[in-house]
Amino acid sequence: MPKLKKLPELFIQILRGTLLVLDVNPEVIERYISDLGEITYAKNSDRKQTARLNARVEEVWWGLRDLTSDADLSKYANGRPYDITSAEGLIFPKEKMFRLLERYGLPVRKCRVLNFEEYARRVRRNRL
C-alpha cells in the first residue's frame, strides 16, 4: 500500500514531464496542474472505458520494446489515436490536450532551447 500513497505525486511528476516533452509552455503546465486540485482515486464501472484503457496500455507495451526513454515513450503514447468509435472520429491525445490548454489564453506551445549537456547526460543514462 505505501506505493499507492505516492501515486498522486508520481502522476503529477509524470504529467509535468510529459507536457514538457511535448513542448507545452511551462506557464500553461503550472496553471493546469494547479487547477487539477487534489488527485483522488475513483472506481470505474464503465466496462467500455476500461476496455479502451486496457487496449491503450497494450499498445504502449509494444512501444516499450523500441523506445528507451520516458520522453520517447510519452511522445509515442500521446501521438497514438484512440476511441475511433467516438463522434469526433480519431482522437489524438496531444492534439486534444493542446486544444483544452488554450483556455488559459497563453501560447500553448513553447519550444525550449536544447541543453546539450543535459541531452548528453540523458543519452548516456539511457544507453546503460
The Cα 79–Cα 14 span in angstroms is 16
pLDDT in tens, 46-88: 888 788 778 877 877 776 777 667 777 788 888 888 766 667 6
Q: What is the pLDDT of residue 85?
A: 67
Highest mean pLDDT among 85-89, 90-94, 118-122: 90-94
In the predicted model, is pLDDT for residue 91 greater than 60? yes
Average pLDDT, the chain: 82
3-state secondary structure string, 80-100?
A: CCECCCCCCCCECHHHHHHHH
- 3-state secondary structure at position 109: strand
In the predicted model, is pLDDT for residue 10 greater than 70? yes
Q: For the chain, what are the domain ranges?
A: 2-127
Q: Which residues pair with 82 in a beta bridge?
A: 91
Rounded to two decimals, the pTM is: 0.70
Tell me phi and psi for residue 34, to 5 degrees: -65, -30
Q: What is the pLDDT of residue 71?
A: 77
